[in-house]
Amino acid sequence: MAKNTNIRISLPAVCFVWQIAMIILFGVFVRYNEESDTRWIEHRRRKNISTNLENDFYYRYPSFQDVHVMIFVGFGFLMTFLKRYSFGGVGFNFLIAAFGIQWALLMQGWFHYLDDDGKIKIGVENLINADFCVAGCLIAYGACLGKVSPVQLMVLTLFGVTLFAVEEYIILELLHAKDPGGSMVIHTFGAYYGLTISWVLYRPMLSQSKHLQGSVYHSDVFAMIGTLFLWMYWPSFNSAIADHGDGQHRAVINTYLALAASVLTTFAISSISQKHGKLDMVHIQNATLAGGVAMGTASEFMITPYGSLIVGFCSSIISTFGYIFLTPFMEKTLKIQDTCGIHNLHAMPGVIGGIVGAITAASANKIKGKETIEAVANRTANIQGGYQAAGLFVAIAFGLVGGALVGGILKLPIWGDPADANCFDDEVYWEVPEDEDENMLSSHPNMNHARGMPDA
């Protein structure tokens, strides 16, 4: 059935209205914090700080830039794997991330960074947190890739960021759970949010666009750009807002090791599951990252290097098997169409990460991480473990309930989403250049002519 996918009014309207709203709200609420303001000089004097290097900027900026690359190139290129949806994959990721970080600065600001004068004071840590917040929505986009309009994505992001900020406030500020790399707050929430939306927006006739649902050779190589930048910079993701000093240092080591182990188990399961042991690019592009997801909560804990290897080892096995067995099952039986398989890459490893965090926290005094954990809220390790587990449930609940509500909104027939037969096709929302093949056929005579000339 044909649908009206004309977004010439709706997309510009949403972009303009929301951007102008951002400007007004920033005007009312957002100011530089003491470290990014010219008052830094007084601040230094008052705190008796001897050097500009003590500005948080120098602790966090390199990690921030790595996280920034993960959000825009990592997530963006990971979603270019479809043969005719690379523009939409990387382009819409760009759009909603750029909107989401602005809205996140406000939402997280109201909850975390409100100063006595009623202003949100921002610095580099806010930028990192805004990028983190947006990551949840980009994960959700992964489930809907190719099946929604950019207007729907803007709505998904508006509500996703809002829900994220509330959920994050409950988990980190009220429950005092720790989650520096966001296994629960980002990955679990984002994945269940996206999966529930995809479930609400179920398309029974999606097989009409089946011929566009795969990859081609080059699009798989493009996707590897995304995979590798995510994989390489994940240690920065899990350490970016960890404690200065040994906290950041340890978070990097733990994540580096978990990810290394993930690669080997992903290759192993991918090979064993296929005739002749041939490897599947879908697994390599995704499940190799499961260790980073699963290390998010415990990244700063004294989980030990071999503990990190075990986390990476197990999470990738589960993730790869998810791609092989669960994704088809979910589509057929549960009516959840999960384009990028975020259930395997974010939901399951995120839950594992939450559980690992809870266990590590609960057994902290036994493994010397005592100081780190107890510093949180004057709790015993066991109780902290319980609160960590509670945080996990909050994240899942927010994902499911929020996804159902937002899914309902997105089901309204006003957002310009594509017909089933037009899913996964950039033609719907983009001016696509004439095809390489067509071009070759039509222009070859000219080209040969031209090429023959220079030396004539």
**One residue of 233, 237, 387, 398 binding a copy of itself per CB under 8 A:** 233
**One residue of 259, 318, 352, 389 binding a copy of itself per CB under 8 A:** 259
Nearest Cα residue to 138 out of 339, 277, 315, 320: 339
State yes or no: residue 141 binds a copy of itself (CB under 8 A).
no
H runs (alpha helix) in 30-123: 40-47, 56-69, 75-78, 86-112
State yes or no: residue 9 binds a copy of itself (CB under 8 A).
yes
**One residue of 46, 53, 385, 393 binding a copy of itself per CB under 8 A:** 53
**One residue of 214, 331, 334, 365 binding a copy of itself per CB under 8 A:** 214
Q: Find the part of the chain contacting a copy of itself (CB under 8 A) among 159-167, 187-195, 279-287, 341-349.
A: 279-287
Helix axes 56-69, 124-144, angle to 10 degrees: 10
Nearest Cα residue to 296 out of 233, 353, 370: 353
Nearest Cα residue to 354 out of 180, 195, 125: 180
State yes or no: residue 57 binds a copy of itself (CB under 8 A).
yes
Residues in the interface with a copy of itself (CB under 8 A) total: 164
Kindly tell me which of 106 and 392 has the beta carbon lying closer to a copy of itself.
Answer: 106
Kindly tell me which of 173 and 246 has the beta carbon lying closer to a copy of itself.
Answer: 246
Interface residues for a copy of itself in 285-324 (CB under 8 A)?
Answer: 288, 302, 304-306, 309-310, 313
Given a contact cutoff of 8 angstroms between Cβ atoms, the answer to whether 309 and 276 are in contact is: no
User: What is the distance between the alpha carbons of residues 367 and 306, in angstroms, rounded to a whole number?
Assistant: 13
**One residue of 111, 112, 268, 321 binding a copy of itself per CB under 8 A:** 268
Given a contact cutoff of 8 angstroms between Cβ atoms, the answer to whether 137 and 161 are in contact is: yes
**One residue of 83, 147, 187, 346 binding a copy of itself per CB under 8 A:** 83
Q: Find the part of the chain contacting a copy of itself (CB under 8 A) among 18-26, 166-174, 382-390, 399-407.
A: 18-26
Nearest Cα residue to 166 out of 97, 107, 126, 212: 107
**One residue of 118, 204, 413, 454 binding a copy of itself per CB under 8 A:** 454
State yes or no: residue 405 binds a copy of itself (CB under 8 A).
no
State yes or no: residue 76 binds a copy of itself (CB under 8 A).
yes
User: What is the distance between the alpha carbons of residues 10 and 33, in angstroms, rounded to a whole number?
Assistant: 36
Kindly tell me which of 110 and 390 has the beta carbon lying closer to a copy of itself.
Answer: 110
Distances from the Cα of 251 to the Cα of 232, 324, 326, 338, angstroms: 14, 31, 31, 30
**One residue of 78, 79, 108, 123 binding a copy of itself per CB under 8 A:** 123
State yes or no: residue 376 binds a copy of itself (CB under 8 A).
no
Kindly tell me which of 243 and 401 has the beta carbon lying closer to a copy of itself.
Answer: 243
Neighbouring-strand partners of residue 316 = none
| Shortest separation between residue 175's beta carbon and a copy of itself, angstroms | 23
State yes or no: residue 122 binds a copy of itself (CB under 8 A).
yes
Which SS3 state, helix, strand or coil, does residue 32 take? strand
**DSSP of 329-387:** HHHHTS----TT-HIIIIIHHHHHHHHHHHHHHHTGGGGT-HHHHHTTTS--HHHHHHH
